[in-house]
Amino acid sequence: MSASPKSPTTSITCTSLAFNWPDGTSVFDGFQVAFGPGRTGLIGRNGSGKSTLLKLVAGELTPAEGAVRTAGDVGYLPQNVTLDTTLRVDEVLGIAATRAALHAIEAGDASEQHFTAVGDDWDVEERATATLDQLGLGHIGLDRTTGEVSGGESVLLRLAALLLRRPDVLLLDEPTNNLDLHARRRLYAAVDAWSGVLVVVSHDRELLDRVDHIADLRTGSAARSASVEGGGGRRAGGEVTWYGGNFSAYEEALAVEQEAAERMVRVAESDLRKQKRELVDAQVKLARRKRYGQKMNDQKREPKIVMGARKRAAQVSAGKHRIMHEEKLSEAKERLDDAVEAVRDDDEIRVDLPYTAVPRAAPS
């Protein structure tokens, strides 16, 4: 079965997006970003708004301001999947009515309503079975209830429903959280087969190494936009920075950025020390000139009018020098602040290590 979308030119565009939680906490303000064809891994610190962004794109949340536009149908797999345990598998897949009409026609009922219900989906059962097989769910069948499936199987079942729909845009929020190694590999294969617009939020390194670009949702003004296929984006207090390639390529690029940023910090620190020394030297020189001028005045070696003019000129010159050196010192401090801010504080784990244990399945 092919998981290719129906249109090769789909995209997601968020324009001047604003969203606040009921307690007034601002998540996005004037946020702008665009996702083009291809597979994008959306990463960032916890609380940076990744899951909220997917919900806004999927229509699960409504922005306070701005607009979200998607060219085509959107399929969304939430982070926490819960299924009505009384539903049959074919109901979760969204094909129950079509199956019922097919069975009625096969039984000899030629009512027009059945043909209308089937439409062009004469092979829906075959496609559904193939999709379940693709995700390792072939043993479940279409007539069992979802109360008989595990938590990990529930996630894959929801994904199967999306793949059957063949949406133009696919959004996945932490899809491997409740999957064992075998199920993860099935999901990886589905991601590999996707060729349209896919945005996945994940801490799973192996999954992120299967994407075409990384969109890093950062906080802090140090983030810079380096757009590839997608568009750069800003959020309240931060930006989306784009990196071409998978997560491994992102790490390599980030290491280069870090080295350059740390080098700029060292340069800025050296410049700040220099400006401080020059300010002290200038103050010492001005103090010496002032003492010399006072000495000349006390000894009255020059006419009073000449000494007055010399004093005024010295005061003006001293003021200019003080302002000039203070401005240079202030600029040096700003450069150091900017350089320090550009250095990533990545003590927080951003991705999981490769999985070494099988998680327990959620109770059915």
Q: Is residue 46 part of a domain?
A: yes
* Domain shared by 69 and 192, yes or no: yes
Q: What is the pLDDT of residues 198-241, one digit of tens each?
A: 999 999 999 999 999 999 987 543 333 333 344 554 444 347 88
215 and 276 share a domain? no
Residues 279 and 199 in one domain: no
Amino acid identity for residue 308 in this structure:
G
6 in any annotated domain: no
- For position 344, what pLDDT does the model report? 63
Question: Looking at the domain assignment, is residue 132 inside a domain?
Answer: no
In this structure, are residues 214 and 227 in contact, taking their beta carbons and an 8 Å threshold?
no
* Same-domain check for residues 264 and 294: yes
Contact between residue 34 and residue 13 where contact means Cβ atoms under 8 Å apart: yes
pLDDT score of 353: 37
Q: Which of 221, 245, 269 is the last residue of a domain?
A: 245
Please tell me whether residues 72 and 178 are part of one structural domain. Answer: yes
Q: Is residue 124 part of a domain?
A: no
Q: Is 362 within a domain?
A: no
Its pTM surpasses 0.85? no
Distance CA 30, CA 318 (A): 47
Is 160 in the same domain as 67?
yes
Amino acid identity at 183: A
Q: Tell me, what's the pLDDT at 285?
A: 72
Pair 221, 201 in one domain: yes
What count of residues does the chain have?
364
Indicate whether 231 and 270 sit together in one domain: no
pLDDT at 308: 59
Give the CATH number, domain containing residue 224: 3.40.50.300
Q: Are residues 269 and 230 in the same domain?
A: no
Q: Are residues 200 and 78 in the same domain?
A: yes
Same domain, 330 and 221: no
Last residue of a domain, one of 190, 223, 245: 245
List the chain residues with pLDDT less than 50: 1-5, 7, 220-230, 233-238, 347-364
Quote the domain boundaries for residue 157: 12-83+149-245
Residues 273 and 331 in one domain: yes
In a domain, 2, yes or no: no
Evaluate whether residue 90 is within a structural domain: no
Which residue, 212, 245, 278, sits at the end of a domain? 245
Q: How far apart are CA 69 and CA 207, in angstroms?
A: 26
For residue 297, CA distances in Å to 127, 288, 289 come to 103, 14, 12
Count of structural domains within the chain:
2
Residue 101 lies in a domain: no
Q: Are 14 and 49 in contact (CB under 8 A)?
A: no
